[in-house]
Chains A and B, each alone.
Chain A
Amino acid sequence: MTNGHNPVVAFDAVSKSFGAKQVLSDVSWSVPEGEAVCILGRSGTGKSVTLKLIISLLKPDQGSIRVDQDEVTQLEAPRLSTVRRKIGYLFQDAALFDSLTVYENLAVPLKRLTQKSQDEIDSVVDRVLGQVGLAGDKAKMPSELSGGMRKRAGLARALMLEPKILLADEPSSGLDRITASEIDELLLRQKAEHKTTLIVVTHDVHGARRVADRLVVLDRGKVIAQGTVAEVEHSENEVARKLIGSNA
């Protein structure tokens, strides 16, 4: 699946369980730099766990996970922090810090992890908020934002450190079709303009077809199909065909 490019994220025989529940079992897949991969699957098949493994919020029970050539399963704090700075993470419910304004949410990583001056930070925050259509909302608290606005603010925060890889967990969940399309547009624009590698977990097949260069389909903790949309549509696995065809 490398398409001639180096894989920027690669899973090799990864397994993860929580107690007796096996969530991922011997999973292998990779994504080349600058491509968009959508991870599809039924609820509880380990899609969100996959994203948390990439950014090392969870550790696998076994297997190897490489992010930009670094084996993240073995990394300790200082090096892990460097790897995480290459990754932006849009959480399912945005995970904005609810005691901070939208501006402060976005400024926190710049203030703490870069040497930028206050003017530079203001300028970056204004630019990114403008990109996601929240230019006039920086003084608002997260509780004052609608679901779509929260997602945009979460996306803006994920982009603050100009990540090489963007992880998005259900970017369209709970949103109407128009707002979901707008979020998809933002993801695609990020990929096109900044060559950002996208890894998107979603139930939205319509969105996945728009965004993805490739699909990875998970079922019961295993990869049951992967490839382009056309390849998955013609997969031998019936569950994979149903999943990709269900909204088609």
Chain B
Amino acid sequence: MTNVFELAGKMSLFGLRAAIDSFRRPFEGGQIVGQLGEIGANTLPLVIASGFALGAVMTLHTHSMLVMFGASAISPAVQALAFFLEIGPLVTGLLVAGRAGSGIGAVLADMRATEQIDGMESLSLDSFKFLVVPRIIACTLALPLLTLFLDFSGLAGGFLSEYATSRVSLPLYIYRAFSNFQWANFWPPTLKTCVFGFTIGTISSFFGYTTNEGAQGVGKAATNSVVVSSLIIILLDVLLIKVIFFLFPESAL
């Protein structure tokens, strides 16, 4: 138990250092853009495919039930609320933790094992600022964008599934999905994924950057990045929902 608290403390200090360093020159714009591209390129196809499949399957499951209660018309609204409020942020967080988080952990651990990080330090370069901070910033910025992709691909999957059964038109589907939608249903849940992104970036970078077990540490860092990031995201999700309900009571259904 002491080890868990010690690890949590070290990760928190690591994240704090990254947050402070992100406001310190040089700002590593090139590195941030490069990492954004890498996280986007690695994760976007997975996010779109997952969102589309989830949307289609969810509509298939809910449609017959809603028809039974004569409420099939609210199916698009249910879909939109479910994706924007919860499915989009959480699933995107878990997908990024699995795809990009493991990659970050493995790459940094490999750089540690092959002395590339020591090489950087020996050249008077700040390896933390150059390698860690851009990855955390990129994760923080990428998550909301990827979440939007998952939300809309989920709606697209839902529409196709709905169209297959009821031949609903696209304009009508969109109207029904967003007619009672409020900004409070959109901004807070989407922006909470910045916290998820910061968490994934920090935890993955922590395990990769601080490993000292050579090649064995690479696999361990990748695994730990995914497991711990996923767990913390799920816990944070519960906490942040409470915070959002407190700050934006109108977003509570």
**Which B residues, 72 to 128, have Cβ-Cβ distances below 8 Å to chain A?**
111, 114-116, 118-125
CB <8 Å contact, A57 and B121: yes
CB <8 Å contact, B125 and A95: no
Chain A hits for B124, CB < 8 A: 81-82, 84-85, 109, 113, 161
CB <8 Å contact, B123 and A57: no
With both beta carbons as reference points, the residue of chain A lying nearest to B107 in the complex is identified as A99
Whole-angstrom distance between the Cβ of B70 and the nearest chain A Cβ: 59
Alpha-carbon separation in the docked complex, A84 to B121 (Å): 8
Chain A hits for B111, CB < 8 A: 97
CB <8 Å contact, B118 and A112: no
Alpha-carbon separation in the docked complex, A85 to B122 (Å): 8
Whole-angstrom distance between the Cβ of B41 and the nearest chain A Cβ: 15
Alpha-carbon separation in the docked complex, A89 to B124 (Å): 11
Alpha-carbon separation in the docked complex, A157 to B123 (Å): 9
Alpha-carbon separation in the docked complex, A52 to B119 (Å): 11
> Of the candidates A82, A92, A93, A109, which one forms a contact with B123 in the assembled complex, judged by CB atoms under 8 Å apart?
A109
CB <8 Å contact, A96 and B125: no
> Of the candidates B26, B115, B125, which one forms a contact with A91 in the assembled complex, judged by CB atoms under 8 Å apart?
B115
Chain A hits for B123, CB < 8 A: 84, 108-109, 113, 157, 160-161
Chain A hits for B121, CB < 8 A: 55, 57, 84
Whole-angstrom distance between the Cβ of B10 and the nearest chain A Cβ: 18
Alpha-carbon separation in the docked complex, A57 to B127 (Å): 12
A76 interfacial contact with B, CB 8 Å: no
* Tally of A-B Cβ pairs under 8 angstroms: 51
Chain A hits for B114, CB < 8 A: 93, 95, 98
With both beta carbons as reference points, the residue of chain B lying nearest to A80 in the complex is identified as B124
**Which A residues, 77 to 91, have Cβ-Cβ distances below 8 Å to chain B?**
81-82, 84-85, 87, 89, 91
Chain B hits for A160, CB < 8 A: 123
Chain B hits for A55, CB < 8 A: 121-122
Chain A hits for B118, CB < 8 A: 52, 57, 91, 95
Whole-angstrom distance between the Cβ of A246 and the nearest chain B Cβ: 28
CB <8 Å contact, A57 and B120: no
> Of the candidates A82, A93, A97, A161, which one forms a contact with B120 in the assembled complex, judged by CB atoms under 8 Å apart?
A97
Whole-angstrom distance between the Cβ of A114 and the nearest chain B Cβ: 11
CB <8 Å contact, B122 and A97: no
CB <8 Å contact, A87 and B122: yes
Chain B hits for A157, CB < 8 A: 119, 123
With both beta carbons as reference points, the residue of chain B lying nearest to A167 in the complex is identified as B122
Q: Given the known inter-chain contacts A95-B115, A98-B114, please indicate yes or no for A89 contacting B122, CB distance below 8 A.
A: yes
Whole-angstrom distance between the Cβ of B181 and the nearest chain A Cβ: 43
Whole-angstrom distance between the Cβ of B113 and the nearest chain A Cβ: 10
Using a CB–CB distance below 8 Å, which chain A residues touch chain B?
Answer: 52, 55, 57, 81-82, 84-85, 87, 89, 91-93, 95-98, 108-109, 112-113, 157, 160-161
Using a CB–CB distance below 8 Å, which chain B residues touch chain A?
Answer: 26, 111, 114-116, 118-125
- 18 new A-B pairs (CB below 8 Å) besides A98-B114, A113-B123? A57-B121, A82-B124, A84-B123, A84-B124, A85-B124, A87-B122, A89-B119, A89-B122, A91-B118, A91-B122, A92-B115, A95-B114, A95-B116, A96-B119, A108-B123, A109-B123, A109-B124, A157-B123
Give 7 nearest A-B pairs by CB, closest first: A95-B119, A95-B115, A89-B122, A81-B124, A109-B123, A84-B124, A91-B115
Can you pick out 22 interface pairs between chain A and chain B where the beta carbons lie within 8 Å of each other?
A55-B121, A57-B118, A82-B124, A84-B121, A84-B122, A91-B115, A91-B118, A91-B119, A92-B115, A93-B115, A95-B114, A95-B116, A95-B119, A96-B119, A97-B111, A98-B114, A112-B26, A113-B124, A113-B125, A160-B123, A161-B123, A161-B124
